[in-house]
Amino acid sequence: MFNRARLKLTAWYLLIILLISVCFSFVIYQELSNEVDRLARASRLRAQRSFEINPFIPPPPVIDDDVLLEVKHHLILNLLAINGGIIVLSGALGYFLAGRTLRPIQQMLDDQNQFISDASHELRTPLTSLKTALEVNLRDKNLTLNDAKTLIEENIDDVNKLQSLSDSLLKLAQFQKPTQVLNLSDCDLKAIIAKAVKRIEPMAHAKSISLKTSLPPHLFLIADADNLVDLFVILLDNAVKYSPKGKVVLITSTQSDKSVTINVTDQGIGIEPDALPHIFDRFYRSDSARGRSGSGGYGLGLSIAQKIISRHHGSVFVKSQPGQGTTFSVTLPLRHNLHPVKPAIFS
Ligand code: ADP
């Protein structure tokens, strides 16, 4: 499909260049042949005058009709050769430019197809297990009311997971739209983090994990408040999800003139060095995370987090020690300083 589109675009480029070149050639031919005709007429006139003034001196040379015709033939041949060269050159150049024009579109299509196939793959597994459980139990003639209730409870769990997956997919798709606009306002970072902590508290409480915040009072950003709450919910959710019971998750900040860095530090399982470069990839889950039953993520959280950070002209830095814990440091520009800060780095 890409090659067909490339050839079509090349043909259009070629047609446009050819039309322009033929028009120019026509104008050039008309102008030059008029000029040659004028010169021929002038030579004849000079010869005639010289003859009238003194018939005994030889007249100046006259451009006769044969020479005129030959010059015009040469002109046509030269213009045809130039046009041929232009066609070959612009064909090659057009093919190259068509490739460059279409490459981002092709890349976007490939990304979209990959996204659809990844999403379908992730959706198929829980849907198949849900369907199998329902079919097996439906065929069971001795199914009691209690069994049915247990089954429904398990199914609701699966449906909740599917719902959270589809919510994450929708969010990711939203952030991938280049046209997505942020609802920017003056935000108090402390209030945003308090909201995120409140959302994660029940989950942290269930694992006896304490969430400790140590932030200065006045940190103002121009940001989309809901997006920033989502960002810190993702980081805190991971910190709690990948920490053993009874640990502490710490939220601190450091500040410079232009930006603020918020650190979310946990005492969890950590991230292996070879997994670190991939944790922001869509659907990526490290082996240690997959091995943990019940942690239940789909590998979409950090992709969404990264998109939120880049939309806010921020950056993220991850520091992790397997078995000891992880720190995610998010740097965001402070009010009136909306410009890129640092690229994402891992250590
Ligand atoms: P998930 O829903 O699987 O948590 P994320 O995109 O949020 O997806 O994270 C991607 C992967 O990064 C996780 O599967 C996990 O391996 C790793 N990860 C993220 N945060 C942490 C953390 N705080 N501690 C350990 N591993 C983490």
DSSP codes joined into one string, 36-58: HHHHHHHHHHHHHHHHHH-TTSP
Residue ID of nearest Cα to ligand 1 atom 4 = 297
pLDDT at 97: 92
Report the run of H or E that residue 60 belongs to, with start and end. none
Give the containing element (helix H, strand E) for 308.
Answer: helix 301-311
**With left for phi above 0 and alpha for psi between -120 and 50, is residue 108 left, alpha or beta?**
alpha
Q: Residue 94 — very low, low, confident or very high, per pLDDT cuts 50/70/90?
A: very high
Q: Give pLDDT tens digits for 120-141.
A: 888 888 888 889 988 988 888 8
pLDDT the model gives residue 296: 61
Please tell me the residue having the least CA distance from ligand 1 atom 2: 297
Q: Are 80 and 22 contacting, i.e. CB atoms less than 8 angstroms apart? A: no
pLDDT at residue 63 in the model: 80
Report how far ligand 1's centroid is from the alpha carbon of 298 (Å). 9
Q: How many residues does the chain have?
A: 347
Which residue, judged by its Cα, is nearest atom 25 of ligand 1? 270
**Residues facing residue 253 across a β-bridge:** 262
**Which percentage of the chain shows pLDDT scores above 70?**
94
Residues with CB under 6 A from ligand 1: 234, 238-239, 242, 266, 268-271, 279, 284-286, 289, 297-303, 326
How far does residue 221's CA lie from ligand 1's centre (Å)? 27
Outline where DSSP puts E strands in the chain: 184-188, 210-214, 220-224, 248-255, 259-265, 315-321, 325-333, 345-346
- 329: confidence class by pLDDT, cuts 50, 70, 90: very high
Segment 32-58, tens digit of pLDDT: 999 989 998 998 898 888 888 888 888
Atom 7 of ligand 1, nearest CA residue: 301
Mutate-to-test residue for ligand 1 from 230, 231, 238, highest number of ligand atoms within 8 A of CB = 238
Here the tokens at position 217 are 């009072």
Q: Which pLDDT tens digit goes with each residue over 200-250?
A: 999 999 999 999 999 988 888 999 999 999 999 999 999 999 999 999 999
Q: Which atom of ligand 1 is nearest to the CA of 275?
A: 16
pLDDT band at 320 (very low <50, low <70, confident <90, very high): very high
Query: pLDDT band at residue 307, thresholds of 50, 70 and 90?
Result: very high
Q: For residue 262, what is the DSSP state?
A: E
Average pLDDT, the chain: 88
How far is the centre of ligand 1, averaged over its atoms, from the C-alpha of 238 (Å)? 6
Is residue 315 within 8 A of residue 344, CB to CB? The reply is yes
Which ligand 1 atom sits nearest the alpha carbon of residue 285?
14
Q: Indicate which atom in ligand 1 lies nearest the CA of residue 289.
A: 16
pLDDT at position 27 over 90: yes
What is the mean predicted confidence (pLDDT) over 181-185? 87
To test ligand 1's pocket by mutation, which of 248, 263, 279 has the most ligand atoms within 8 angstroms of CB? 279
Residue 340 pLDDT:
47
pLDDT band at 290 (very low <50, low <70, confident <90, very high): low
The answer to whether residue 173 scores a pLDDT higher than 90 is no
Q: Which of 31-40, 88-97, 105-114, 259-268 has the lowest mean pLDDT?
A: 105-114
Q: 275 or 57: whose pLDDT is higher? A: 275
Cβ-Cβ contacts under 8 Å for 246 (sequence gap 6 or more):
207, 208, 209
Does the pLDDT at position 347 exceed 70? no
CA of 289 to the centre of ligand 1 (A): 7
- Strands of 210-214's sheet in order across: 210-214, 248-255, 259-265, 325-333, 315-321, 345-346
Q: Which ligand 1 atom is nearest residue 328's CA?
A: 23
Handedness of CA 171, 177, 178, 181 (dihedral sign): negative
| Predicted pLDDT at 295 | 56
Q: Does residue 180 have a pLDDT over 80?
A: no
Ligand 1, closest atom to CA 268?
Answer: 24
- For the CA of 168, the nearest atom of ligand 1: 2
For residue 88, pLDDT over 70 is answered with yes
Read off the DSSP letter of residue 281: S
Top-confidence residue, 75 or 60:
75
pLDDT at residue 181, rounded to an integer:
81
